[in-house]
Chains A and B, each alone.
Chain A
Amino acid sequence: MNNVVGKILIVLQLVFSLLFMCFAGAVYTFQQSWRTKAVTAQQNVAQRDATINDLKEQHTQELQTRSDAELALKTRADAAEAKLKALTEAVATRDGELAQVQQQRDKFQADLLVAQAEAQSRVAEAVALREEIKKQRDVGATQIAEIRTLEDRNVELNKQVALLKEGELAYENRITNLEKILRANDIDSKQVIAGLVPDEITPVSGKVLGTRPNSSRSAELVQISIGSDDKVRENMELFVYRENKYLAQIRITDVSADSAVGVVVERSRNGVIERGDNVTTKL
Chain B
Amino acid sequence: MSQRSSDPGIYDGLMFVSLGAVIVGIVFLCLALNNYGWTS
Question: What is the interface of chain A, defined by CB distance below 8 A to chain B?
Answer: 6-7, 10-11, 13-14, 16-18, 20-25, 27-28, 31-32, 35
Contacts and interface: CB of A to CB of B under 8 A. Distances in A.
12 contacts: A10-B14, A13-B18, A17-B19, A18-B21, A20-B21, A21-B28, A22-B25, A23-B25, A24-B24, A24-B26, A24-B28, A28-B28
B24 A11 contact: no
B14 A11 contact: yes
Contacts of A27: 28-29, 32
Please tell me the size bucket of the interface on B: 10 to 19
B1 to A, nearest CB: 16
Contacts of B19: 17
Given A16-B18, A24-B29, A25-B25, 7 more contacts: A14-B14, A17-B17, A17-B25, A21-B24, A23-B25, A27-B28, A28-B29
B40 to A, nearest CB: 16
Max chain B C-beta neighbours (<10 A), residue from A17, A18, A20, A35: A17
- Majority-rule SS of A interface residues: helix
A20 B32 contact: no
A139 B20 CA distance: 169
- Majority-rule SS of B interface residues: helix
Interface of B: 11, 14-15, 17-19, 21-22, 24-29, 31-32, 35
A20 B27 CA distance: 11
Contact of B11 (A10, A17, A31): A10
Contacts of B22: 17, 20-21
Given A6-B11, A7-B11, A31-B35, A14 B18 contact: yes
Nearest to A20: B25
Contact of B32 (A7, A10, A28): A28
Q: Which 7 A-B pairs have the closest CB atoms?
A: A24-B28, A17-B18, A24-B25, A17-B21, A21-B21, A21-B25, A20-B25
Contacts of B28: 21, 24-25, 27-28
A22 B18 CA distance: 12
A10 B31 contact: no
Contacts of A14: 14-15, 17-18, 21
A58 B31 CA distance: 44
Contacts of A21: 21-22, 24-25, 28
A20 B18 CA distance: 10
A28 B27 CA distance: 9
A10 B29 contact: no
Max chain A C-beta neighbours (<10 A), residue from B11, B18, B26: B18
A18 B11 CA distance: 15
Contacts of B32: 24, 27-28, 31
A13 to B, nearest CB: 5
A37 to B, nearest CB: 13
A7 B10 CA distance: 10
A212 to B, nearest CB: 166
A21 B28 CA distance: 8
